[in-house]
């Protein structure tokens, strides 16, 4: 089986804030090292569980955070952005399972560490009425190819969000938010053991995990933070502005959800 790993940085163990998670800040190099180490724990656990191949999608910021020379040499790395579908771009139906590493809760989660949905320009996203953040959008994109999410790592609020959407997902909570950019955290070495355990459990459960999918066409409701963005997006051909801040689109499938949201900045 081929395993697709998509990794963000806000949910990486040992990263409490954007001080380590943003390439504009001084602790960023440490953030890259921690991200690479968490992902290596995922890769090793996947091979321990019988994976034949692992492909890692760097999905944070520039998408060039993982340290290629320190990444487990059994895995392939997708680095840099190509498709606007972003966080799962590179996935296709040849994969058997997805692992979300270092993910965070959706915008507006009271106890979500560094919670947001794609960009600060978005306040909320609903698909067919269901509130989704990046966990749900990635799962919807993978679901389009029939590939289930089986495991996830991140802060406790992100893990809860994943389980609420997909009860079969094995989660590894490695930190607990005390504020938007403050957390109580497991030591990274312990966190990586917990992550590996969740990945092994998730991959043992592949047969029971379901691809995350909605009935087509999908109604994508984007609630913007600023009125000016709603006013711009309403001008697109199949847009309907249903509220001062909310513009609705109808798209044919789960991949188009990721493409549409990836175009917002």
Residues with a catalytic annotation lie at: 116
What is the number of other CB atoms lying within 10 angstroms of the CB of residue 240? 12
Contact call for residue 8 and Zn ion (CB under 5 A): yes
The reply on whether position 161 binds Zn ion by CB under 5 A is no
Whole-number minimum distance, CB 47 to Zn ion, in Å?
A: 26
Stretch of residues binding Zn ion (CB under 5 A), selected from 1-9, 11-19, 75-83, 182-190: 1-9
CB 168 to Zn ion: min, Å? 22
Task: Name the residue nearer to Zn ion (CB basis): 97 or 118.
Answer: 118
Question: Which residues, numbered 116-135, are part of the site for Zn ion (CB under 5 A)?
Answer: 134
Sheet holding 149-155, edge to edge: 76-78, 53-58, 2-7, 97-103, 149-155, 170-179, 182-185
Instruction: Measure the CA angle with vertex 158, ends 28 and 216; round to 5°.
Output: 115
Binding footprint of Zn ion, residue count (CB under 5 A)? 2
- Which residue, among 46, 59, 138, has the nearest Cα to 96 in the 3D structure? 46
Say whether residue 255 binds Zn ion (CB under 5 A).
no
Cα separation, 147 vs 168, in Å, equals 13
From the list 4-12, 45-53, 218-226, 253-261, the region that binds Zn ion by CB under 5 A is 4-12
Stretch touching Zn ion by CB under 5 A, among 3-11, 48-56, 135-143, 193-201: 3-11
Contacts of 9 (CB under 8 A, 6+ apart): 15, 20, 21, 31, 35, 60, 61, 65, 102
As given in the structure block, the two tokens for residue 131 are 């509130």
∠ CA 174-176-177, nearest 5°, is: 135
Closest to Zn ion by CB, 11 vs 148, is 11
Tokens 């592949």: give the residue: 206
Nearer to Zn ion, 58 or 134 (CB): 134
Q: Which is nearer to Zn ion, 156 or 203 (CB)?
A: 156
Q: How near is the Cβ of 10 to Zn ion at its closest, in Å?
A: 6
Segment near Zn ion (CB under 5 A); pick from 2-10, 175-183, 198-206, 209-217 = 2-10
Which residue do the tokens 């802060």 mark? Answer: 155
Closest CB 8 distance from Zn ion, rounded Å: 4
Rounded CA-CA distance 209/152 in Å is 13
CB of 243 to Zn ion, least distance (A): 25
Burial class from Cβ neighbours inside 10 Å (0-12, 13-18, 19+) for residue 1 reads: middle
With CB atoms as reference, the residue minimizing the distance to Zn ion is 8
Task: Give the pairing of strands 122-127 and 130-131.
Answer: antiparallel
Q: Which is nearer to Zn ion, 8 or 38 (CB)?
A: 8
Whole-number minimum distance, CB 86 to Zn ion, in Å? 9
Binding site for Zn ion (CB under 5 A): 8, 134
């Amino acid at each position: 089986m081929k395993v697709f790993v998509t990794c963000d940085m806000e949910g990486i163990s040992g990263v409490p804030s954007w001080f380590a998670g943003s390439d504009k800040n001084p602790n960023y190099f440490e953030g890259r090292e921690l991200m690479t180490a968490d992902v290596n724990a995922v890769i090793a656990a996947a091979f321990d569980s019988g994976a034949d191949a692992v492909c890692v999608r760097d999905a944070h910021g520039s998408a060039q955070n993982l340290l290629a020379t320190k990444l487990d040499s059994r895995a392939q790395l997708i680095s840099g952005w190509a498709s606007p579908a972003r966080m799962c771009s590179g996935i296709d139906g040849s994969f058997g399972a997805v692992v979300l590493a270092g993910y965070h809760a959706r915008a507006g989660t009271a106890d979500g560490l560094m919670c947001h949905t794609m960009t600060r320009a978005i306040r909320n996203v609903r698909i067919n009425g269901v509130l989704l953040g990046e966990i749900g959008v990635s799962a919807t994109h993978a679901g389009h190819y029939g590939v289930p999410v089986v495991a996830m790592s991140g802060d406790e609020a992100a893990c809860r969000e994943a389980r609420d959407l997909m009860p079969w997902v094995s989660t590894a909570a490695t930190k607990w938010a005390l504020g938007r950019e403050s957390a109580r955290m497991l030591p990274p070495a312990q966190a990586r053991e917990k992550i590996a355990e969740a990945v092994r459990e998730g991959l043992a459960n592949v047969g029971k995990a379901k691809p995350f999918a909605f009935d087509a066409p999908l109604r994508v409701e984007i609630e913007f933070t600023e009125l000016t963005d709603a006013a711009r997006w309403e001008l697109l051909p199949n847009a309907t502005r249903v509220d001062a801040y909310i513009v609705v689109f109808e798209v044919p499938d789960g991949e188009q959800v990721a493409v549409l949201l990836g175009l917002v900045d």
